[in-house]
Amino acid sequence: ILKPSGQSICSKAAIEPVWYLPEIARRFGCTEVKLRESIFRMTNGMYPELITRPDIKIFLPPIGGLTIYIWGDIDTIPDEDIELTVRVHDECNGSDVFGSDICTCRPYLTHAIEECIRTAQKGGCGVVIYFRKEGRSLGEVTKYLVYNTRKRQEGGDSAENYFNCTEKVAGVQDTRFQALMPDPLHFLGVTKIHNFISMSDMKYNAIVNTGIKIVNRVEIPKELVPDDAQVEITAKVFHGY
Active site residue 176: yes
Cα separations in angstroms, 108 against 56, 64, 91, 131, 211: 41, 21, 12, 15, 25
For residue 29, is it left (φ>0), alpha (ψ between -120 and 50) or beta?
left
Q: Which of 105, 125, 104, 106 is nearest to 115 (CA)?
A: 125
- Going by DSSP bridges, is the β-strand pair 19-20/66-72 parallel, antiparallel, or unpaired? unpaired
CA 156 to chain centroid: 28
**Within 13 Å of residue 134, how many CA atoms lie on the same side as its CB?**
13
Q: Sheet containing 84-90: give its strands across.
A: 11-15, 66-72, 125-131, 84-90, 192-196, 213-217
Could you say which of 101, 174, 183, 217 is catalytic?
174
Q: Which helix (H) or strand (E) holds 110?
A: helix 105-121
Could you say which of 118, 132, 176, 217 is catalytic?
176
Active site residue 90: no
Provide the annotated active-site residues: 174, 176
